[in-house]
């Protein structure tokens, strides 16, 4: 029996690891469910969702080079996000809403310490760029000798 992508099978969890679970499939084959394919929610510990010997219903998501990748979450309905509009109720056409724009107050004047800090930062930046130019010029001149 060739396991095709999209087929739904029944299997039994054989082994659980930190990254997923290995499932015994029909005809003595084994597939793996990666931890990210166990549930629609984030799974930090797979053992909270699966246990060894548990019967599971899985979907084949890939079958390449004898490695069968399985998924449980693709068989579950995706939960709707909170605040998401529901598909059944169409929204009425949106009208532009006028909002009052309140002007933001001007920033407070800078103190003498803040002005000094800004000037010092500008001086250090300018000084560093001049020094790096001098160092680069010095290296090229010393190599010519």
CA–CA separation, 76 vs 40, rounded Å?
Answer: 8
Q: Mean of the pLDDT values across residues 99-112?
A: 78
The radius of gyration computed from the CA coordinates of the chain, to the nearest angstrom, equals 32
Q: What is the pLDDT of residues 12-66, one digit of tens each?
A: 999 999 999 999 998 889 999 999 999 988 889 999 999 999 999 999 999 888 8
Rounded to the nearest integer, the mean pLDDT of the chain is 83
pLDDT higher at 61 or 90: 61
Residue 76, token pair as written in the block: 């579950």
Q: Mean of the pLDDT values across residues 112-116?
A: 88
Q: What is the pLDDT of residue 145?
A: 52
Flag whether pLDDT at 2 surpasses 60: yes
Tell me yes or no: is domain 8-75 CATH 3.50.50.60: no
Q: What is the pLDDT of residue 105?
A: 77
DSSP 8-state secondary structure symbol assigned to residue 57? E
Asked if 3 and 63 count as a contact pair (C-beta separation under 8 A), the reply is yes
Question: How much is the pTM?
Answer: 0.54
Flag whether pLDDT at 5 surpasses 90: no
């Amino acid at each position: 029996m060739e396991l095709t992508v999209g087929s739904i099978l029944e299997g039994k969890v054989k082994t659980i690891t930190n990254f997923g679970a290995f499932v015994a499939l029909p005809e003595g084959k084994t597939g793996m469910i990666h931890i990210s394919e166990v549930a629609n929610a984030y799974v930090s510990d797979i053992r909270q969702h699966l246990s060894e010997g548990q019967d599971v219903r899985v979907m084949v998501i890939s079958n390449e080079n004898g490695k069968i990748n399985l998924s449980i979450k693709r068989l579950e309905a995706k939960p709707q996000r909170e605040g998401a509009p529901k598909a059944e109720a169409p929204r009425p056409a949106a009208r532009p809403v006028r909002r009052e724009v309140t002007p933001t107050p001007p920033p407070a004047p800078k103190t003498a310490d803040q002005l000094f800090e800004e000037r010092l930062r500008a001086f250090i930046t300018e000084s560093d760029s001049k020094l790096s130019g001098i160092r680069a010029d010095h290296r090229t001149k010393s190599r010519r000798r």
